[in-house]
Structure 1
Amino acid sequence: MTGSARWRWGAVTTFPRWAADGDAAVELLRRLGRAGAGLVLVDPAGEGPQLEGSALAAFASAVPAAPAVLAGTRSAEVPPYLLARELVTLDHLTHGRSGWWCTDTAADPGRVDEHLDVVARLCASWEPGAVVRDRVSGAYADHRKVHPVDHAGTHYRVRGPLNTVPPRRQPVVVLDGAAPEVVDVAARRADVLVLATGDDGVHAARDRHADAVARLRAGLVAAGRAVTACTVLVRVPAGTRPADLLAAVRDRGADGFLLDLPLVTGPALDRALADVTAGLVPDLVRAGVLGPARNPGTTTLREHLEMD
């Protein structure tokens, strides 16, 4: 584990059964935010109809004290230019509490690597101070500070620059997987790498995950990034005992965890959330790995993940 001595944490869930019940989603986000969760990843693999990801993220940003919500999307479904516009818009609307969870890196790491590179370059296509709003000349921007991307790669051809409100910051990018090809892309492009423990227990993939974290740290240095530039979160089932969760994170050298919340509403979800907010989180605070909860609605996601 690198960087801050305190872990970052969040949750993974899906909203198919809440499509007609926004109040349930609001309550979930409020309770997680009050407990100190910094982000919620919305898994697109859930059964049933899915809510549209960017609309869900914008909706969540209006909930007081809510974590940032990142909807999982396959890069193959969204061209880089359209995704960059969407992410820049969300960044402005959510005051930096947004990002993108790319869910198909393992299927074609080379294409995803190129996709993320183009998105980053588009988001950097406006220099700071490019907007001048000169009433005399009628110029909105200084053209010398707005740059085409002129990308012609294996999978994409994008001229750029973005024709939207200038970006304030690079979007937070989340990837998941422990395969070497995925880890290598994460070292170059990602801000968060998620390692899923799966159904075979939180300790089953310990050595493979520890190797992935070591490879990630070395890759960050090789890419000229800080060794703390990519946060590693271990994805574990809700209900995992504190001792097992402590071991799972520490054995992998990770920076925190994500809890898989059950796809239920009503009393069952209430019990699961109570186990987390009144049981697990206070236990981890007493163990010294979580700090006192702070309002995630008052910081950008990068600040909450302690990237800035």
Structure 2
Amino acid sequence: MEGVLDHLMRDLLTRINPFDLCVTEFIRVVDMRLPPKVFYRLCPELHQGCRTPSGTPVRIQLLGQEPDWLAENAEQACLLGAEGIDLNFGCPAKTVNKHRGGAALLGDSEQLYRIAKAVRAAVPAHLPVSAKIRLGLEDRDSYLENSQALAEGGVSELAVHARSKRDGYRPPAYWPLVADIRAALAIPVIINGEIWNADQATLAQTQSGCRDVMLGRGALALPNLAATIKHGAASMSWEQVIELLLDYSALEVEGNKSIYYPNRIKQWLNFLKLQYPQAQSLFGQVRTLKHTDDIRQTLAAV
């Protein structure tokens, strides 16, 4: 989730959740081997064994369309200490798709195969190469062909967002269709899409036949969602969420991304509105504020 789930958010959410793995925001690959500073900027966890401060592994995600350049950059990431590579074929954003990145490649299973094969060959054999797809481009019709192409190319895990590119993020997610992928592949398949609470996670697992769940927007709407799914924890109270927002504010302001803080906190409140009615009122209070100190004072006064 570009611009949202950065290393500060990964730090915060892995403190309170039993995540098995985090994936970085995507690193866009076009036609060059990117310098180390790009990888360190989007994955500063490389400096600490590719783990968050609480010890959760982080996998570097690449997005692009050229097999050789993706392979070059996968190799670069591994030389810098990455413990695995994730390939993004799921992003539905127009700015990404118009350059044949993300979900735009779901109409070309041969290219998916070529990318997977090239990256797998570039990454040391003991490290995983995973991929994320959707069920298709315009329709939900190419998921088996695409899944098999990636598996034959050598990916070791496949996460499936159970909608097409055209579906975007509109409900519902078509979890039962992922069962076809699960039955066809020998590699682990991970279900993703429209999982906002523990009951939906259980239903998604049941309908898809997948054991593992990938969380995106739901992890921002309910900050301890993974704990509620995996350990049966109670959902965080609004008071606990406010404490978390204040902790996040401190991380943002003290870190190297303070310039983005006003926009980031407003983005997060927009997600929190999906689970906490109180977030609507708080968002209204900070929506027009532009200065960090004013926003932090408003949060502290709640």
TM-score of the aligned structures, taking structure 1 as reference length? 0.50
Give the distance between the partners of 1:233 and 1:100, measured in 2 at CA.
16
Query: Which residue number corresponds to residue 235 of structure 1?
Result: 193
Q: Percent identity?
A: 15
Partner of 1:244: 200
User: What's the offset of the Cα at 1:87?
Assistant: 0.9
Say whether 1:59 aligns with 2:45.
yes
Q: Secondary structure at 1:85's aligned position in 2?
A: helix
- By how many angstroms is 1:214 displaced? 1.3
Q: CA deviation at 1:252?
A: 1.9
Q: Partners of 2:115 and 2:200 in 1: how far apart?
A: 40
Deviations 1:74-108 (A, max 9, x none): x33xx222211211232343352433223346534
Match of 1:107 in 2: 104
Q: Which residue of 2 aligns with 1:120?
A: 117
Residues 105 and 256 of structure 1, relative CA distance in 2, 3 Å threshold? same
Match of 2:61 among 71, 74, 78: 71
Residue 217 (structure 1) aligned with residue 183 (structure 2): yes
State whether residues 106 and 181 of structure 1, in contact with CA within 8 Å, keep that contact through their aligned partners in structure 2: no
Aligned residues: 199
2:197, 2:218 within 8 Å by CA — same for their partners in 1?
A: no
Counterpart AA for 2:194: V
Shift of the 28–282 alpha-carbon distance from structure 1 to 2, 3 Å rule, reads: same
Q: Which residue identity does 1:193 align to in structure 2?
A: A
Matching residue of 2:257: none
Aligned to 2:31: none
SS at match of 1:176: strand
Residues 106, 36 of structure 1: CA spacing in aligned structure 2 closer, same or farther, 3 A cutoff? Answer: closer
Query: 1:87/1:241 Cα in 2 relative to 1: closer, same or farther (>3 Å)?
Result: same
Gaps of 5+ in 1: 1-12, 46-50, 125-161, 221-226, 264-268, 285-308
Question: Hey, which of these two has a bigger chunk of helix by percent?
Answer: 2
Sort the Cα spacing of 1:249 and 1:41 in 2 relative to 1 into closer, same or farther, 3 A. Answer: farther
Deviation at 1:185? 1.8
TM-aligned CA deviation for residue 236 of structure 1: 3.0
TM-score, structure 2 as length reference = 0.51
Q: CA RMSD for the aligned pairs?
A: 4.0
Q: Is the 8 A contact 1:234 1:257 kept in 2?
A: yes
How do residues 3-42 of structure 1 correspond to structure 2 at under 5 angstroms? 13-15=1-3, 24-25=8-9, 27-28=11-12, 30-31=14-15, 35-40=18-23, 42=25
- Deviation for aligned residue 1:211: 3.0
User: Aligned partners of 1:42, 1:89: CA distance in 2, in Å?
Assistant: 17
Aligned to 1:306: none
Structure 2: unaligned runs, 5 residues or longer:
29-36, 91-100, 234-302
